[in-house]
Structure 1
Amino acid sequence: MMSEKSPIEMMEIVAGGFGDLLERVVFVGGATTPLYYEDVAATRIRPTTDVDCVVEIASRGQYNIFEDELRRIKFKNDMKQGAPLCRWIYEDITVDVMPINEQILGFSNRWYPEGIRNATIASLPSGRGISILSLPYFVATKLEAFKNRGGGDFRMSHDIEDIVIVLDSLFDFNRMHSAPNSVTQYLQEEFKIIINDDQFIESVSGYIGYSQTSTGRAMRVVDFMKEYSLKK
């Protein structure tokens, strides 16, 4: 169910709810997308159903302890049928709290461990700071999530949509060039694949929207991805 609150409002509430645990979590996923925007006025915000966070925990025992701490601060396990083990409810907001170790719950994202080590601080409107992935890792986790969900139609993917609207919002692409070689090489390889897919090119125009400037903006995003994939 889509929340009536904006992603920023949801993160404000969840960040406040974490209390002393806030410094241990890194916010990831679609809710964080607006925090990467530069041209905020020209960029739409995609509604989202939940807030995703990752925490650096090495064992199931440590995760059990962390779960107890979440319950202490009034986070409740989501007991709905089909809800994943990482899902919590806080003040009617769905919150997924995922350990970076895939062995604990059986799922993760290959870029979470490295992304956490290279996290950055973003300020919410309240002035509260939260940890988020740096932009290259955000894009990498979105590409990996798209692949983990089976790939499929670029035109129907929120992961691809988030990548496109963030890149479109940037005044320049400098932040994409500040990344370790590992994630840079991954992005280059993935960009090389998708920019040669006509369906992806079509999706870029669709996500940016149709206006007098949209064709140029879509070309700008695709041209950047081409240049990035070829950089030494």
Structure 2
Amino acid sequence: MLVTDAAVLDDIRFTDDVDLVIELAGISEWQRLTERLAAKNFKITGEDEVNCRFRFNDVIVDVMPSDPAVLGYANRWFVEGLANADKFTLPSGFVIQIFKPTYFLATKLEAFSGRGKGDPYHKDVEDIIILIDGRPELLEEISQAGSELKAFITAGIRELRTLDGTDYVIESSGSVQVNPGRGRIIHARMKDLGNA
């Protein structure tokens, strides 16, 4: 949904999980939500390290409250991301909200430095690289973002560029494997994003 470059679309891996962000008024609402999800066959199996993870058949669904008081953690960009989300109509006609690309990128950068512990091989980095590769208009979108969001993204991209292993992650991405010239495009875009 956020990738707009047709040259990249065919090379994106299918995700094995779905991330949902939800606003809840407290732990009691979280308990009610888990009961409603359990009634629809969403299960917390106990085999996962994170307490927001449900399984629905073979699909992993991470339901993350925007309020850190609910589960003890949250991403600082969830609240703003939800407030500025775009509506998207699925082929089924069901309407969902998705984060704007700038907020999606900010949440991934926050997750990378948090749960990813700055590891360039973390799955959030792969998502960041795919977005940068597959969305040529991202630089313009970031340049039009609010100053705090823009500063966070540019600092995060600059940090990511300095890490050992980032080059390997870029060169290992699906679109670069199919078209090695894409690596230069991604590096150039990351440089521009770090200076936005």
CA distance in structure 2 between the partners assigned to 1:96 and 1:196 by the alignment: 30
Matched, 1:68 2:38: no
Q: Which residue of 2 aligns with 1:58?
A: 25
Q: Which residue matches 2:143?
A: 177
Letter in structure 2 aligned against 1:157: H
Q: In structure 1, how many angstroms separate the alpha carbons of the residues matched to 2:148 and 2:155?
A: 11
> CA deviation digits over 1:105-140, x for unaligned, max 9?
122222112211111122323332211111011111
Q: Whose relative contact order is higher, 1 or 2, with alpha carbons under 8 Å and at least 6 apart?
A: 2
Cα pair 1:111 1:140 within 8 Å, conserved: yes
Cα deviation for residue 56 of structure 1 reads 0.7
Q: Distance in 1 between matches of 2:49 and 2:164?
A: 35
Q: 1:106 to 1:210 in 2, by over 3 A?
A: same
Asked if 2 retains the 8 angstrom alpha-carbon contact of 1:75 and 1:88, the reply is no
Residue identity over aligned pairs, in percent, reads 30
Tell me by how many angstroms 1:165 deviates.
1.6
- Asked if residue 160 in structure 1 is aligned to residue 110 in structure 2, the reply is no
Show CA shifts across 1:138-195 (max 9, x none): 111111111112122x2x3221111112221224333333422221110111122222
- TM-score where L is the length of structure 2: 0.84
Say whether residues 1:135 and 2:101 are aligned partners: yes
TM-score (structure 1 length as normaliser): 0.72
2:52 paired residue number: 86
Unaligned runs of 5+ in 2: none
Within the candidate set 193, 196, 200, 2:159 is matched to 193
Matched residue, 1:7: none
> What secondary structure, in the 3-state scheme, does the structure 2 residue paired with 1:52 have?
strand
User: Structure 1, unaligned stretches of length 5 or more?
Assistant: 1-34
Change beyond 3 A, Cα 1:81–1:191? closer
